Structure 1
Amino acid sequence: MSASRLSVNVNAVAMLRNRRDLPWPSVTGLAAIAMEAGAKGITVHPRPDERHIRKTDVFELSELIEDRFPNKELCLEGYPTADFMKLVEEARPDQVLFVPDDPDQTTSDHGWQFGGDTGPLADAIAAAKDWAVTVSLFCDPDRAAPEHAARLGAERIEVYTGPYGACYDDPTAAAKELDKVVAAAEAARDCGLGVNAGHDLTVENIPALIARAPFIREMSIGHGFTADALIYGFAESVRRFRQAMGEL
């Protein structure tokens, strides 16, 4: 059995919990099931309005991993505001993924545009690295993006795979989008960056991606994983996604 690439995003679990003033479904409980089943770790995106993940969830997940899963990883996603950077400093996740999101966005839907003022982003990267947190930047499937990320001091990128995932019913379009994802991933590898991928990945579209880019080190999956888990359960969905990644 090879090491896992799968980081399970539990935002949707928190969103379901938040529909009621009750402690279930348990974010930490389901995160534990995923990690026990073989997931590499857990990803969360705590937004300012706490519409799904709350700050308290971040600390509870950090404690869970420290106490029970010391070989697993916690990844925080977020726009590098002062509040988010304070959370990163206090929680000290294994990895932070900086995304260029407006607070009101439903989900991350584009990568960083590197043509503007990147000073604040460079400062955030430097701060996170000072706290011994691995830094990844969310990038469009553009072969030019990784060089900019490397120049800013990032250690990894996460290639935005949303356009690829959106072509689930159009194989011709999916093949074109896959070419873009692979080109960006290869460019990142050539820049010496670690390569992650995420957004709308499923057990159906992962095999083609991993066949073309087997060097991808992490796939952060939330919506597709949760949809699968509603049918198969969290533990079985970990197995299914890892099998799709060629790990089992």
Structure 2
Amino acid sequence: MKTPSRLSVNVNAVAVIRNRRDVPWPSVTHLSALALNAGAKGITIHPRPDERHIRRTDVLDLSNMLTEDMQGKELCLEGYPDKRFMELLEEVRPTQVLFVPDDPSQQTSDHGWDFDENMDLLKEVIAQAKSLDIRTSLFVNPDPSQPTLAAEAGAERIEIYTGPYGACHADKEAEKRELEKVVATAEAAKAAGLLVNAGHDLTVENLPALIERVPYISEVSIGHGFTADALIHGFTESVRRFRGALGEL
């Protein structure tokens, strides 16, 4: 029996390629539909203020597609909770929101929240999201001290930043050390009553070791690694490959 998918495909990189030209292809919605029809559980997007990849129109198009044609599939909006993002959240009402501490100029989400400085903000925006019946997740560093703070803020999940783990692909000893940090953080989240997501630089090669140690991960959000794989194998086959690496097939 096949197990349910834990794969959420981040399609920001698709939008980056499209935005190199003033043309509508590659289509964010079309490739998202391919991934979902191939077995992915959902789509993750990060609409930044400058729209350098995902545009507001993409958010609306994807939301409409999932509502009309993809019942049971999920949309996760990722972003910094400024006024504009919170207004978009209220308009779209995705399945899940991932709040990240990004400066607008950052290339990608590359660190977790500083809870000492942002606890009041996080409590406020998490309460707003919950009032809209949106599942809440906070981006945290691979540090076991962080999940209890995320729980204090009111989050239902954390997403562990796995970039340091993924960056060790050429150094197996360092990879083992970074994996231990991820595992310890996941265990702390479980003890705090939170569900665990993971994301950043996850690949077909490094997912199996992570899932073996943290089999209770609820979701992995994969964008760059998935897109790189799909350039070789295609979106449909890459969904199969990543779900295989997750032990789902």
Give me the TM-score of the superposition, normalised by structure 2: 0.99
Q: Structure 2: how far apart are the matches of 1:117 and 1:61?
A: 30
Give the aligned partner of residue 167 of structure 1. Answer: 168
Letter in 2 for 1:84: F
Q: Structure 1: how far apart are the matches of 2:118 and 2:44?
A: 28
Q: Structure 2: how far apart are the matches of 1:41 and 1:96?
A: 12
For 1:7-156, list aligned pairs within 5 A. 7-156=8-157
What is the DSSP-based 3-state SS (H/G/I as helix, E as strand, rest coil) of the residue aligned with 1:116?
Answer: helix
Q: Structure 2: how far apart are the matches of 1:154 and 1:118?
A: 11
For 1:158-237, list aligned pairs within 5 A. 158-237=159-238
| 1:119 Cα deviation after fit | 1.0
Q: Structure 2: how far apart are the matches of 1:100 and 1:79?
A: 6
1:168-213 per-position Cα deviation (integer Å, ceiling 9, x unaligned): 0000000000000010011101111110000000000000000000
| 1:117 Cα deviation after fit | 3.9
Q: Structure 1: how far apart are the matches of 2:136 and 2:127?
A: 9
Identity of aligned residues (%): 67
Unpaired runs of at least 5, structure 1: none
Q: Structure 2: how far apart are the matches of 1:147 and 1:10?
A: 30
Number of equivalences: 248
1:35-64 per-position Cα deviation (integer Å, ceiling 9, x unaligned): 000000000000000000001100110111
What is the DSSP-based 3-state SS (H/G/I as helix, E as strand, rest coil) of the residue aligned with 2:5?
Answer: coil
Which piece of structure 1 moves more, 118-127 or 36-45?
Answer: 118-127
Q: Structure 2: how far apart are the matches of 1:49 and 1:225?
A: 24
CA RMSD of aligned residues (A): 0.5
1:77-132 per-position Cα deviation (integer Å, ceiling 9, x unaligned): 00000000000000000000000000000000000011224211211110000000
| 1:240 Cα deviation after fit | 0.1
Letter in 1 for 2:96: Q
